[in-house]
Amino acid sequence: MFPLQRNRRLRTNESIRSLVRETTLSPNDFMLPMFVAEGKDVKVAIPSMPGIYRHSLDNTIKEVKEAWDLGIKAVNIYVKVSDHLKDNKGVEAWNKDGLMQQTIRAIKDAVPEMIVMPDVALDPYSIYGHDGIIENGQLINDATVDALTRMSLSHAEAGADFVAPSDMMDGRVLTIRKALEENGHHNVGIMSYSAKYASAFYGPFRDALDSAPVDSQNIPKDKKTYQMDYANRIEGIREALLDVEEGADIVMVKPGMAYLDIVREVKNAVHVPVAVYQVSGEYAMVKAAAEKGWLDHDKIMIEQLYCIKRAGANIISTYFAKEAAVILNK
């Protein structure tokens, strides 16, 4: 009761605010998403994601070393697949000498302690830009899961620490976990994109990988038959709980800022670490507003990351990782 209780006493200056701060943020919380392209000495800017590039493998290693020196301990890898390697079944996805597999080996050779979490989905490999195999105008679940399992095994054999299925097929975590166990990859973890919503925030990412669904009358025009309806809350919790039962070591909520209610609900429901992906559209919005002078870039960036952490994230996959690490390290 006032005046016995004056809450502002704990806000008087930065020293007391830092002493009683409930949420802390450090580079240890970040995972850096990276885009890898074929070739040597390649650095291709992604116009819709200022400051983000597709790098060839040699430049990717430089980026990984820089991230490690900043205190970032994990990278999430995506590859830009050449059109001539794409098909409907994603066969290139489990090529032991494919770009993803080369990248995993190269990163683990260069920075052995960096945690490598390659993306597991067929959209970069698909002629249709979908996360699975299309038959009779529909994305089929079980055959896609078989393909994702082969892909996951190839990642494990290349040296991945975790595989990261982002496809939202039913039952894929259990199938992948069983295959990893049966093939001796007992210590390879699964970070499952458990509550991945069909969001418009992904647009710039699809520019980065040229992986948007193809506009055709014969196939689904979007990913709403497998990614979740953004109007739903309980469904996200159910998906996360099922993935944990099937063997997921980490569950992810995607996107980030607009879905912090889901992050908190999932955090309260599961007893494994929760990852959050602050996606390309969220990144691009901050960059665009800051470029216009409408927002203070660094203050907004750090505030958003704190909010994601406060909501319950143990891991934040963010394109801001390096910039934020520089500020936090100061």
> What is the rounded CA–CA span in Å between residue 175 and residue 177?
6
Beta bridge partners of 253: 195, 276
| Long-range interactions of 262-265: CB distance < 8 A, separation 24+ | 262/195, 262/233, 262/236, 262/237, 263/308, 263/311, 263/312, 263/313, 264/311, 264/312, 265/233, 265/236, 265/237
To the question of whether residue 239 is assigned a binding role by annotation, the answer is yes
User: What are the phi and psi torsion angles at 133 (to 5°)?
Assistant: -85, 135
Cα(110)–Cα(62) distance, integer angstroms: 9
| Alpha-carbon span 155 to 100, nearest angstrom | 8
Catalytic residue among 86, 254, 287, 309: 254
Q: Which residue in the list 80, 86, 108, 196 is annotated as catalytic?
A: 196
Check if 254 is active-site. Answer: yes
Structure token digits, residue 250: 């980490």
| Angle CA 269–310–274, to nearest 5 | 40
Distance between CA atoms of 107 and 110, rounded to whole angstroms? 5
Q: How far apart are the C-alpha atoms of 164 and 93, rounded to whole Å?
A: 13
Residue 226: Cβ within 10 Å count? 18
Q: How far apart are CA 147 and CA 158, in angstroms?
A: 17
Best CA proximity match to 90, nearest among 55, 60, 120? 120
Q: With the C-alpha atoms ordered 51, 56, 61, 64, is the resulting torsion angle positive or negative?
A: positive
Residue numbers belonging to the annotated binding site: 239
**What residues act catalytically?**
196, 254
Residue numbers belonging to the annotated binding site for Mg(2+): 239
